[in-house]
């Protein structure tokens, strides 16, 4: 399978500023990978320091001889127990750092130990420390690795992935499984199925927002040509390693790693042992044997980049390659676009839907499951004080000329996508899908699931997801 790399379709090469920005971003992500263990160990040392300050500053004896802060803390957590806990936590950070170092080594970057040796060899070396925000992204990577690539995460992911894989089996079965489509589809469905291409070519399926790549891999393993994509470089580095760097030397074997994905959690924790517990990843060999029956084998690719940019070449007027108009319309479209927890990541849902529409062949499937969290929501709202002249002019145009300079000043630091985002209801979302040129074939509500949830946490978030299957109308 092909590894994830920044991907451009028929575009001019990036200019120097863009190339420099890509290098800076890659360095920033690698920096956060390299400093992961140090960051969490120092953070935990800060917590221990607070405990010590609590002991030294609040140890006055109560007049009636009752308990003191000192007596409570010392009896609850002795020095010996604190040392044991620190060792347990430190071992968990080292486990995670070992996995992250293997990711770094796979992508050609320096590991944490190599950076440390380099710092010791270079005089006056100035450390560029990462941030809490960057480390939180690495924490999310480890939780996603748990969800997608561990036995323990199977229950959570199967609720979502099984629905999506079942829709492909039903409406776009691999050749040789024709009974499924005959038993579950109308005559029109079967005609579209027969028009999907030569019988020896596997159907093409796009999986945008594929994160750690398990869904895209499962689709590939069923015999489809699968193309995953994601915008998050921290996620893509880890998925590239799991998909391409964990194969063993013996057939069917693979490298396994123990990780502790919950060490960053400090709230709603029942015990330190639970917080530092391990899971083993990956749970399967991420490889499929090529076909030996004369048919073309499916392929598996992962792309790095923002969804609209990656697939803009499917839009009308963007299909020429290097200015050659003779290649207009020659882009090979997909038989299905399959999305898990994806459509609500759109800063502009209509733009996502239009792109998906043009990515698909006539009769192609748009399959999705997830909530409507609207990731770009919650920032840049217009407040009463932002209105010009204190009132909203109903005749104002859509450019927002009723808003005064205060709003611009208050929001100028924000990513513009926050200012574009609209929170649609499902009713509105459904209407957009239909108006875009899709027919809803299936629709199901209240599919309850969690997302990278800690089973031992005292707080769990449930999502009542909507699942739908839509078909592009010819």
Of 36-50, 136-150, 202-216, 282-296, minimum mean pLDDT range: 282-296
468 HSE (CA, 13 A, CB side): 19
What are the beta bridge partners of residue 206?
227, 337
pLDDT of 3 reads: 45
pLDDT of 165 reads: 98
CA end-to-end distance (rounded Å), the chain: 32
Asked if residue 130 lies in contact with residue 39, where contact means CB atoms within 8 angstroms, the answer is: yes
pLDDT of 198 reads: 67
Backbone angles phi, psi at 169, to 5 degrees: -60, -40
pLDDT of 381 reads: 77
Question: Looking at residues 173-188, what average pLDDT do you find?
Answer: 57
pLDDT digits (tens, 9 = 90+) for 401-449: 567 777 777 777 776 776 778 899 999 999 999 999 999 999 999 999 9
- Give the Å distances, CA to CA, from 22 to 104, 206, 412: 17, 25, 23
Question: Looking at residues 9-20, what average pLDDT do you find?
Answer: 63
Which one is predicted more confidently, 351 or 395?
351
Distance CA 259, CA 144 (A): 12
DSSP string, 154-219: HHHHHHHHHHHHHHHHHHSPPTT-HHHHHHH--HHHHHHHHTSS-TTSPPEEEEET-TTSHHHHHH
Q: How many CB atoms lie within 10 A of CB 346?
A: 23
pLDDT digits (tens, 9 = 90+) for 267-289: 999 999 999 999 999 999 886 55
Length of the chain: 474
What is the layout of strands, in order, in the sheet containing 360-370? 2-6, 300-304, 225-230, 204-208, 334-340, 360-370, 463-472, 438-449
Confidence band of 48 (pLDDT split at 50, 70, 90):
confident
Distance CA 132, CA 144 (A): 18
Distance CA 345, CA 451 (A): 15
- Give the Å distances, CA to CA, from 141 to 28, 88, 365, 383: 15, 22, 29, 36
The 3-state DSSP class for residue 279 equals strand
What are the beta bridge partners of residue 324?
321
Which one is predicted more confidently, 451 or 324?
451
Indicate if the pLDDT at residue 399 is higher than 60: no
pLDDT of 245 reads: 92
Question: Looking at residues 151-171, what average pLDDT do you find?
Answer: 97
Which one is predicted more confidently, 13 or 417?
417
Domain ranges of the chain: 18-122+129-138, 154-472
Which one is predicted more confidently, 388 or 269?
269
Distance CA 283, CA 259 (A): 12
Question: Looking at residues 81-101, what average pLDDT do you find?
Answer: 95
Asked if residue 432 lies in contact with residue 424, where contact means CB atoms within 8 angstroms, the answer is: yes
Indicate if the pLDDT at residue 26 is higher than 70: yes
Which one is predicted more confidently, 272 or 49?
272
Of 210-214, 300-304, 318-322, 361-365, minimum mean pLDDT range: 318-322
Residue range 154-472 in CATH 3.40.50.1820: no
pLDDT digits (tens, 9 = 90+) for 102-113: 999 999 999 999
Backbone angles phi, psi at 77, to 5 degrees: -145, 95
Asked if residue 208 lies in contact with residue 336, where contact means CB atoms within 8 angstroms, the answer is: no
Asked if residue 229 lies in contact with residue 223, where contact means CB atoms within 8 angstroms, the answer is: no
pLDDT of 177 reads: 57
* 179-215 b/e (C-beta count within 10 Å ≥ 16 → b): ebbeeebeeebeebbeebeeeeebbbbbbbbbbbbbb
Asked if residue 153 lies in contact with residue 147, where contact means CB atoms within 8 angstroms, the answer is: yes
């Amino acid at each position: 399978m092909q590894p994830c790399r920044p991907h451009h379709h028929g575009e001019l090469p990036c200019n120097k500023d863009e190339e420099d920005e890509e290098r800076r971003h890659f360095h920033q992500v690698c920096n956060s990978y390299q400093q992961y263990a140090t960051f969490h160990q120092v953070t935990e040392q800060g917590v221990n320091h607070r405990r010590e300050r609590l002991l030294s500053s609040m140890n006055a004896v109560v007049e009636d001889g009752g308990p003191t802060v000192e007596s409570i803390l010392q009896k609850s957590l002795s020095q010996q127990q604190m040392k044991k806990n620190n060792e347990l936590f430190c071992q968990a950070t080292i486990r995670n750092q070992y996995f992250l170092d293997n990711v770094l080594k796979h992508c050609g970057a320096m590991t944490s130990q190599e950076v440390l040796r380099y710092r010791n060899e270079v005089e006056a070396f100035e450390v560029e420390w990462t941030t809490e925000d960057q480390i939180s992204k690495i924490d999310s990577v480890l939780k996603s690795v748990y969800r997608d690539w561990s036995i323990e995460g199977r229950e959570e992911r199967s609720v979502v992935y099984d629905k999506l894989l079942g829709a492909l089996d039903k409406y776009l079965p691999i050749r040789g499984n024709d009974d499924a489509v005959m038993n579950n589809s109308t005559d029109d469905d079967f005609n579209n199925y027969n028009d999907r291409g030569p019988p020896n070519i596997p159907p093409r399926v796009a999986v945008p927002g594929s994160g750690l790549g398990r869904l895209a891999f499962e689709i590939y393993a069923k015999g489809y040509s699968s193309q995953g994509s994601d915008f998050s470089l921290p996620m893509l580095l880890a998925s590239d390693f799991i998909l391409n760097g964990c194969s063993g030397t013996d057939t069917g074997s693979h490298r396994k790693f123990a990780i502790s994905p919950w060490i960053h959690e400090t709230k709603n924790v029942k015990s330190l042992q639970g917080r530092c517990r391990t899971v083993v990843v990956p749970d399967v060999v991420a490889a499929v044997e090529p076909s030996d029956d004369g048919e073309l084998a499916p392929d598996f690719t992962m792309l790095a980049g923002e969804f609209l940019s990656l697939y803009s070449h499917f839009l009308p007027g963007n299909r020429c390659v290097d200015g050659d108009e003779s290649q207009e319309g020659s882009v090979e479209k997909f038989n299905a676009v399959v999305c898990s927890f994806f459509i609500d990541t759109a800063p502009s849902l209509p733009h996502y839907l239009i792109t998906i529409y043009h990515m698909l062949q006539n009769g192609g499937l748009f399959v999705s499951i997830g909530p409507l969290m609207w990731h770009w929501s919650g920032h840049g709202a217009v407040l009463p004080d932002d209105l010009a002249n204190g009132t909203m002019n109903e005749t104002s145009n859509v450019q927002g000329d009723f808003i005064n300079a205060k709003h611009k000043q208050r929001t100028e630091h924000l990513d513009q996508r926050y200012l574009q985002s609209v929170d649609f209801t499902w009713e509105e979302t459904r209407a957009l899908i239909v108006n875009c040129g899709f027919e809803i074939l299936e629709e199901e509500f209240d599919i309850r699931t969690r997302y990278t949830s800690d089973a031992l946490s005292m707080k769990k978030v449930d999502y009542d997801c909507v699942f739908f299957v839509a078909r592009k109308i010819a």
